[in-house]
Structure 1
Amino acid sequence: MDPVAEVLLRRRRRVAAGVIAAEPFSAETTGGRPHRGAVLKPAVGSGVVALEAELLQAGFLLSAELHQWLAGTDATELSRVGHHLVRAILAELGADVQHVPLFRDFPRSVPTDTAEFYVRRVFTLLLQESERPCVLCGTAGTVHPVAPCAHLVCRTCWDGAVFSACPICHRRVDPDDPFLRPADDPVAEATTARAPRTQLTVLGLCEDAEAASRDLLEGLLARQTPLSAEDRADVMTLVERNRPASGGWLPETIPLRETRATVLAALIADGDADDLLARHTDTATDVLRLLYALMGGDPGLRTPPPRRTTLPRGLRRALLGRLDAMPMARLTEDVLRYTGPWTRMAEVLHPHEHHLRFPGAALAFAVLRGTRLDAETPFGRAMLSQAARHPGVLRVDGRRLRTVTFAAQVENALRDGDLATALALLARRPGELLRRLSHLLRLVQPSGSTRASEQGALAPGVPVRDVVGAGSLLAVLEEAVRKVAPGVVVATLGQVRTPSGGTRLFQPRGGALFWAQPDSRPELPARLVGDVADVLTREMLRRAGTLPPLDRVVLDEGLTDLIAPASERSATSALVRIARGGLQPIPRGERIRLFLHWTEPEGTRVDLDLSVAVYDERWEFVGLCDYTSLRIGGDAAVHSGDLTSAPGPLGSSEFVDLDVRALRELGGRYVMPVVFSFDDVPFDQLVRGFAGFMESPAGLFDPLAVRQRFDLAGPAKTLVPLVADLWSRTMRWADLNLSTRGRGHDVDGYAAQLARLGSALEDFYGLGERVTLWEVACWHAAARAGEVLVRRGDGAPLRYARRAGEDAWAFASRLMAARDPDGTVDGPVGAASLAAVIDGDVALAPGAEVYALYPDRLEGTGLRLLDAADLLSGLAVEPEEVGGGEVLSSAGSTAGAVEVQKR
């Protein structure tokens, strides 16, 4: 499928006419669009019906407009479009590959005793000899080697119609090996009826793919929260299609610096490098991100590029020139923020070779490297002469240059108890102020307090040189918050509102690992927390009020279970996109089937394991279901068998069937699925890899039963996708990795670590005060709409109307507290200009914007589908209000970690 057509299909549920199966379009391409009212040809008509039937089996419907367009194509075009469309839809669900588990008759053929099964395998491996009777059954002439592992397998003891791999080592067998015999069609397996799919996704028609792709790209470039890997890939696809050589189509500002670097890396080779750099880089870190992107690395600077790439001389000079043009204080500070990466990049840029042409850049790298400057040498004299021009920034320490960074000034002031100076410094960098806000609130003088000792936060022995009141901090905060990205605001708001106590859970900036430590911090005064929350919330309402007004907004109370995505840079690409910590019901059926599929690269053996850990209500270990224990409690959990290799093109698949009622009867409450890389091979080395779950499938793999599918990607070697609570029948999206060492990873070795992770996630997100999508949607509604309809799960929608003299703050307070409505709506809900809902079955006005977690049955003219990040990015800072420094994406510690606190 055309890459842009694939993006539009996945993100907008629109089929790009004339593009989906054609050559790349241009402004002059008509796409061969048929005229309106085309006559339905008999052959084409039957083809459209067949296509509809096939899509229906995957849970998708054709809109009337798309049906009409398809009916007007010729048979060849319809065949091409249908092939690409079905293939793309099945790939989203994980149904585009053949799933063959170890036990082909799963779950019926799975051994009841895993230990006995293991003993038989080991006994055969150690004692079986060629040309000898079988050591298990004593039958002669039935023992033959299988390819490619050459293990001796008895055809009587091991049924080639049951196994899809060597029964001894579980490696895939050559498809032509005579050991493999035809098996019963796995689709016939149906231990329970398929759960009915009541909602189907409607596919619409996109007649102008170029305009749609440009609109989608502009939306992604405007985001102020870090993009996920999937989003970054989509940006690159859309940039490649939309870029002219000059890059003049770029917006004046791209708020997110990681996104900016990704786009510049694609354009800089074609356009004027000096102009692009001058327009879109204003810090040294911007240049470093660009260097990472140019070398195929992560512009978020979490991991180094796979290799250092030699850059053209002209580009190197342009980059050095851009660094040289930056203020020396900020340049040296930014370089010292990332000493390791910049030290490596210095070997590419060769700054000292151009010290006369770019003296500022040369000075910054001299500070970074601690270069010895001898006045007797021409280079040393030149550098010392240049350094003398920056007396307030650089100083000579012996024969080396030194500088005091902004961060060091702040830390020195805090260490000395000089809070006034620290606050004055941080006021110059609003993003940094919000990152440290939780710490600062524990240092200020509480309202009404008269003694410095009542601050209760400075460490023993630290002198208190100045007492700063809460009012002073709030005044600075009110000004600073107007210049900070919305992701930072909501992350800070959630952190400040969450009470102290228990355990602090940390996630490294941009990563998906975690660690915990006891929380010994003092509790913040409730009044102070309330004042800070008011400042941050009022700013969000102010920004929402600058957006176009809306007639009617429809909201869903179920949004209270979804966390607002302050950052998605480490988010896994998934069929249903949920921010970490979000809560959703588990499938209603009693049988849930987990699935895993992967294909290893040629020459590398990769053994992935789908495993399940079960815990009771106190997070005590109940049991596991993996390759060491194929069954729990009979049929409470059943594993399809351990495949230990996945050569292409078939790859390997593993499944685990979960019986919710039976697991509860065994004492289980929490269930944690885990994907382990047994051989410690990172997921990003796989040819393909994905996992997910189905609800009561009819057959081994049923596309219509798929409820979630997510990719295995990145350098991780484990993935914990979710934590399921069988008592409340809910699942919390985790999307986290465990820290691993060595090889041989399995549940047994990580049971305690998994329990700590699951407990921390449940406690924090269940009891904490993170900002939810409900709050974000209420900010939009209260500031922009005259009428708001709130859909509830237990009754008729509530109607809220803005009352005379009621400002956005008062209206939002009523909405978020679900109090004092203006009535209920018993009949059909009127068309909305904006909807933020769980399910997409809502009436929408032409051109409406809609966020739907499950966008089923969404249909309308000119609808704009929103992601959760789009709702938040709508509350972006106006460009003229943004101050200096980086637009931060998350609040956390000074070490760059996002703190998650457990109560």
Structure 2
Amino acid sequence: MPSPIGKLPRRLGMVPADVPSGVAALEFELLQLGFLMSAELYRALAGLDMTELTRVGRRLLHCLREEVGANATHVPLFRKFPDSVPADTLDFYVRRVFSLLLQDPARPCVLCGENGTVRPVSPCAHLVCRTCWDGADFSACPICHRRIDLDDPFLRPSERSVSLHRDAVTTTVLLGSCPDPGAACRELATAMLARRTPMPAHERAELEILLEACWPAALSWLPETIPVKETRAVVLAQALRRGAGELLPRHAGTATDVLRVLSTLMGGDPGLRIRPERRTSLPRAVRRAVLACLDGMPYLLEDLLRHREAWKHMAEVLHPHEQHARFPGAALAFAALRGTRLDPGTAFGRALLARAAGHPELEVRDGRVRATTFASRVETALADGRPADAAALLSHRPGEFLRRLSHLLRVTYARGGGGGDGARATASPLESLEGAVRRVAPGVLLAALGQIRTPPGGTRLFLPRGGTARFRTLPDRRPALPDEVVLEAERVLAGELLRRAAELPPLRRALLDEGLADLVAPTSERTAGAALVRLARGSTQPIPRAERIRFFLHWAEPPGTRVDLDLSVAVFDEDWRFAGLCDYTHLRLGKGLVHSGDLTSAPEPLGASEFIDVDVRALPARYLVPVVFSYNDVPFEELPRGFAGFMEQPEGLFDPLAVRQKFDLAGPAKILVPLVADLWTRTMRWTDLNLSAAGYGHNVAGSADEVAALGAAMESAFTGRVTLWEVACWHAAARAADVVVRRRDGSLCRYERRPGEDVEGFAARLAARAAAQPFEGPFEGLSEGLSEGHPGGTDLAVLVSGDVALPGAQVYALHPYGLGAARLLDAADLLSVLAPAPAAVTTRH
């Protein structure tokens, strides 16, 4: 079986050593994409025969071209873009309308008056004058902008030549050799299974590839516990397909875990945000395994009620009442869920009524079983003004307690009034907090910390559960927490993470980048899209300093369905008032924005591409927001391929080396806002959010208010979030006595733990970026000893740019250029190692 490593070159940063390569030619092709062979990979591939070179070289290049978007042929509407884009969009539109309404092939052209120049184009059959419309510039019908047949006489070769030659390659990713693909797959899968924060959908798909390709050997990779519920569902669904149903009761602790598995089996979302399109019949063995697992769960009915409608649908597949004698607990729970009337005159009714009598939380009314749930008791306590009772209840479920901590503290403080008894009342949730934090995943701790220290005021941003991640905003009118309450909660939460970090292996030295303060720690990546540069939502990065930035969009439509996507840019002033746009209705906005033209169809093999050039210096407004619209309401998930991104100072129309960000268009969304750029501070914030969409004709004109609301909300919504800088400081302070920090200006400084200084004090000094002594020595010397008292090199580096060789070190780098033999980490890996000890984890969190 071919190794799955060939499908994941970017994730691993290496290719199998036993694959062939023509070396020189392949190396040149890789350089044009921004990838460089390491010395060991070059040696391993040298001398292999040409047949194998062709096979594997093509596969490798295809994967890497796909990473940067160079796998598609990019042909915009105006092939001479940006030079040939009309200066007056209205005049261009009027000429199209006149041609559509008045053109006649037997008469002179209504625009130029020439005879014999008007002919139809295929397949739209619009009448096009060969004199008025330049077939060497247009790549589609000038009237409707739909693609036309590539052999249509209207299309003529463009005299414009495009060169992708560069004098020097400035940005490369180093590809290493992989002598043991099986071991590399195992290492990657093991790391993914151990992650403590949810993965985005595309990474779960990668895990499925690894498990499927390596089954049944993959069974030995499974840890004792799989922390993330969605990851667990992917593994258990694979196990059920392969007849390993014994794994289900071992790893599924709740009915919701089982529902995730069933949803995955039916092609749905393991995060339960999207219901499967249709229920799939399950084999009898799978149904028995599922019912047996459910039958032994102590909180079964309560868990079923969490997803009432989904379980009602699943009951039609599981048929729990058919096996009520074998699985009476499951049968009773489903009877209560569905409101089944239990007739004491039947064996089925008598058996379930007798079982219900043994559960005090259940009662029978009118022959139907009713339950009082844990959630209802918590909500009743809060509604009755008893936050201390609610906190006491939630303390038995640490994960739920931490998720409600901010609300509990604010309710407690608001009812206490802020003094005397109020201060005493706030102590109740904090007293429970000390015990709860020991048993909760690090992502939940970080989310709670961010919520508590985010001050009220401004705008709250809500991201409801759902595949399109639609948002809504509200003014933040929550009561403010007293400073002492915030500080105490922060002390407990951060202290627990520092305690866990201190239990990890010590480090000789840690290297940190101050720029990590711009990156939000990824507490959850469930709705994150696949992107070349993986940023957590809310993170900021500098706008490229080149004179020209080019946004790009490419898509292809499925057979029989026309798909019209639009790349647009909306511009706003400092108060988020609409100040202009660049889209198919305004191809130019002053000298700052130029659109390549609107393509309204994207048939294979060419697909369609749109571009917008941005001259940041020529834009007088403050905010710039790119948006991708599905004009005719086709969701992105139906596209055979679709992606967007931006380039910095490209050479030619599409330059792989100039690509700075590229992200896939996926899911049921129809309007995507990837980022918000602030031209005054020259920063852009990663949003990766979808706007609400209904009907037909989505464009900036209909969504400007919503785009402005999103942009205004992003700043305040992420003010208090935990950053990767803080996470890195916790690791460094707890594990190393010697820390080197690279400042934003590129200078280096060095922190050492002072005699008698505790971990909390050292961490606070690092996080605050207090004054420190300069680092003596070159940046390249970080892999060596600093001085006689500090032997060895850097063991852990958390960086924005991986532009230093750190052989053997564990390295996270947002831009992992040239790291060579370093062991690369994901941002989520920095949190996964801060998981609680297995004995401390509860099954319900």
Partners in 1 of 2:218 and 2:725 — Cα distance? 42
The answer as to 2:829 corresponding to 1:854 is no
Partners in 2 of 1:490 and 1:294 — Cα distance? 32
Letter in 2 for 1:12: L
The answer as to 2:322 corresponding to 1:353 is yes
Superposition pairs of residues 241-320 of structure 1, within 5 angstroms = 241-244=213-216, 247-273=219-245, 275-320=246-291
Corresponding residue to 2:835 among 876, 881, 891: 876
Partners in 1 of 2:455 and 2:768 — Cα distance? 20
Partners in 2 of 1:507 and 1:706 — Cα distance? 29
Letter in 2 for 1:879: P
Partner of 1:542: 499
Corresponding residue to 1:780 among 731, 754, 775: 731
Paired residue secondary structure (2:508): strand
Partner of 1:58: 33
Partners in 2 of 1:586 and 1:3 — Cα distance? 39
- Give the deviation of 1:92 after TM superposition: 0.7
Partners in 1 of 2:697 and 2:466 — Cα distance? 27
- Give the deviation of 1:194 after TM superposition: 7.6
Paired residue secondary structure (2:412): coil
Paired residue secondary structure (1:759): helix
Is contact 2:460–2:717 with CA below 8 Å preserved after alignment? no
Partner of 2:9: 9
Q: Which moved more, 1:306-315 or 1:679-688?
A: 306-315
Please report the RMSD computed on the Cα atoms of aligned residues, expressed in angstroms: 2.0
| Structure 1, gaps ≥5 residues long | 22-43, 447-451, 458-463, 887-903
Partners in 2 of 1:762 and 1:418 — Cα distance? 34
Corresponding residue to 2:800 among 796, 819, 838: 838
Partners in 2 of 1:186 and 1:359 — Cα distance? 75
Partners in 2 of 1:638 and 1:427 — Cα distance? 57
Is contact 2:460–2:716 with CA below 8 Å preserved after alignment? no
Partners in 2 of 1:422 and 1:468 — Cα distance? 16
| Structure 2, gaps ≥5 residues long | 784-793
- Give the deviation of 1:475 after TM superposition: 2.2
- Give the deviation of 1:604 after TM superposition: 0.6
Corresponding residue to 1:480 among 399, 422, 436: 436
Partner of 2:110: 135
Superposition pairs of residues 504-903 of structure 1, within 5 angstroms = 504-509=460-465, 512-633=469-590, 635-663=591-619, 667-765=620-718, 768-794=719-745, 796-828=747-779, 829-831=781-783, 832-846=794-808, 848-860=809-821, 863-886=822-845
Is contact 2:430–2:489 with CA below 8 Å preserved after alignment? yes
Paired residue secondary structure (1:247): helix
Letter in 1 for 2:455: P
- Give the deviation of 1:725 after TM superposition: 1.3
Partner of 2:57: 82
Partners in 2 of 1:249 and 1:334 — Cα distance? 29
The answer as to 2:394 corresponding to 1:426 is yes
Provide, for residues 573-613 of structure 1, a one-character-per-residue CA deviation record: whole Å limited to 9, x for no partner. Answer: 00000001111111111111110000000011100000000
Is contact 2:737–2:752 with CA below 8 Å preserved after alignment? yes
Paired residue secondary structure (2:677): strand
Provide, for residues 148-194 of structure 1, a one-character-per-residue CA deviation record: whole Å limited to 9, x for no partner. Answer: 11111111111111111111111100111111111124515x9xx98
Partners in 2 of 1:432 and 1:808 — Cα distance? 29
Paired residue secondary structure (2:272): coil
- Give the deviation of 1:456 after TM superposition: 9.0
Partners in 2 of 1:611 and 1:685 — Cα distance? 21
| Residues 495/195 of structure 1: CA separation in 2 closer, same or farther (3 Å cut) | farther
Letter in 2 for 1:436: R
Partners in 2 of 1:195 and 1:354 — Cα distance? 73
Superposition pairs of residues 321-340 of structure 1, within 5 angstroms = 321-327=292-298, 330-340=299-309
Partners in 2 of 1:866 and 1:755 — Cα distance? 36
Q: Which moved more, 1:869-878 or 1:217-226?
A: 869-878
Q: Which moved more, 1:307-316 or 1:502-511?
A: 502-511
| Residues 479/563 of structure 1: CA separation in 2 closer, same or farther (3 Å cut) | same
Paired residue secondary structure (1:744): coil
Partners in 1 of 2:498 and 2:466 — Cα distance? 28
Provide, for residues 825-849 of structure 1, a one-character-per-residue CA deviation record: whole Å limited to 9, x for no partner. Answer: 3434322111000111124142x21
The answer as to 2:335 corresponding to 1:376 is no
Is contact 1:796–1:826 with CA below 8 Å preserved after alignment? no
Partners in 2 of 1:844 and 1:313 — Cα distance? 54
Partners in 1 of 2:237 and 2:735 — Cα distance? 38
Q: Which moved more, 1:826-835 or 1:145-154?
A: 826-835
Provide, for residues 17-57 of structure 1, a one-character-per-residue CA deviation record: whole Å limited to 9, x for no partner. Answer: 226x8xxxxxxxxxxxxxxxxxxxxxx8xx42222222222
Is contact 1:243–1:249 with CA below 8 Å preserved after alignment? no
| Residues 455/353 of structure 1: CA separation in 2 closer, same or farther (3 Å cut) | farther
Paired residue secondary structure (2:510): strand
Corresponding residue to 1:364 among 311, 314, 333: 333
- Give the deviation of 1:455 after TM superposition: 5.1
| Residues 2/632 of structure 1: CA separation in 2 closer, same or farther (3 Å cut) | farther
Partners in 2 of 1:445 and 1:626 — Cα distance? 50
Provide, for residues 307-336 of structure 1, a one-character-per-residue CA deviation record: whole Å limited to 9, x for no partner. Answer: 210000111111111111111xx1011000
Partner of 1:28: none
Corresponding residue to 2:204 among 213, 232, 253: 232
Corresponding residue to 1:91 among 66, 81, 90: 66
Partner of 1:454: 417
Q: Which moved more, 1:349-358 or 1:607-616?
A: 349-358
Partners in 2 of 1:249 and 1:12 — Cα distance? 18
Partners in 1 of 2:539 and 2:248 — Cα distance? 39
Is contact 2:3–2:182 with CA below 8 Å preserved after alignment? no
- Give the deviation of 1:202 after TM superposition: 1.2
Partners in 2 of 1:128 and 1:415 — Cα distance? 71
Partners in 2 of 1:196 and 1:395 — Cα distance? 77
Is contact 1:258–1:300 with CA below 8 Å preserved after alignment? yes
Partner of 2:380: 412
| Residues 195/642 of structure 1: CA separation in 2 closer, same or farther (3 Å cut) | farther
Partners in 2 of 1:624 and 1:350 — Cα distance? 56
Superposition pairs of residues 106-125 of structure 1, within 5 angstroms = 106-125=81-100
Partners in 1 of 2:428 and 2:640 — Cα distance? 56
Paired residue secondary structure (2:44): helix
Name the % identity.
Answer: 62
Partners in 1 of 2:643 and 2:600 — Cα distance? 16
Paired residue secondary structure (1:356): coil
Partners in 1 of 2:261 and 2:432 — Cα distance? 33
Partners in 1 of 2:798 and 2:418 — Cα distance? 42
| Residues 809/195 of structure 1: CA separation in 2 closer, same or farther (3 Å cut) | farther
- Give the deviation of 1:3 after TM superposition: 6.7
Partners in 1 of 2:60 and 2:183 — Cα distance? 21
TM-score normalised per structure 2: 0.96
Paired residue secondary structure (1:268): helix
Is contact 2:576–2:708 with CA below 8 Å preserved after alignment? yes
Is contact 1:503–1:517 with CA below 8 Å preserved after alignment? yes
- Give the deviation of 1:808 after TM superposition: 1.4
